[in-house]
Structure 1
Amino acid sequence: MEKEPSRIETLKEKVEQRRIAIDIFGEKAGEVIFLDSITSKTKLLKSDEMAYKNIKMKFKRDNNELDEARRKFDLMVYDFLNSHPYEISFFVFGKNAYELTVPASLFLNFYGSIKKTINQNDIIIHTKCLSSGLCLLFDEHYISISQWHK
């Protein structure tokens, strides 16, 4: 069990979260809800577990297959957002991992910026309660796409 962060650590975390929100969403950053790093880490472990149990496609990690995996994943993201049109949660990795929750329309409008910020880290998108999710997972040799619905 992790200890509660000090007041200074909490303030540093808030500053990092604000910077991340502005980097991705600019002036729309006010519509973003962050979980703290401890709670985010717990949810990240649960979502990783769900993702690895539900891998649907696997691609070799070369340029051609990487492009194909990203194209397929992008199409799946749009389908996912159509079936979950309200709020979407996803993870961003900085000094800590943070779960962000945003309106689905905001996520869609800034999807390119989100992908750029996440870069080569896993893209993990899910409903708030983890009942449905979609992930693009990177490892040393493969790129996998995972999807689940409870």
Structure 2
Amino acid sequence: MTTEDAATPADNTLSPVDQNFVQAATVLYSTQIDAGKTAHKNTSNADVRSFARHMIADFMRLTVQLKGTAPEGVTVPKDNSDTALLDSLRPLVGADFDRAYVRKLGLEAHRIGIAAFEKEAKDGDNPSLKQAALDALPTLREHYLMGQKLAQKLGVTE
């Protein structure tokens, strides 16, 4: 999916920075929700299950907030998951799943997401999207810390 697919305002009111942010946010949100659902099926680890439940709840809330702050005429995709990432997790179970899930979703995806949200907060042109990025950053940083603690527990290195 291209950036233009993610944020296509009828009158092209979004700058490239803002378009990239909407794309990054929707990929992060959708992927975290879908991966969290997969975690419930593929893990028996209570800590991983708790982390996944937390991700699903928070990213569903953040999705609603992003849709509410998107400028008029901007379509926020409903499902914009990273299917390659999800496909790499689906066949894994148990400890193999846990390590891959925490490494890819708890750590890597949050690092990438935090960078994208910081860029929008600093360089974005649309005030409501900049505010959405600023509002979501504390949650993303909290998730990353949770992911680091869980990774340490599971022996996952960054």
TM-score (norm 2): 0.33
Q: Which is richer in helix? A: 2
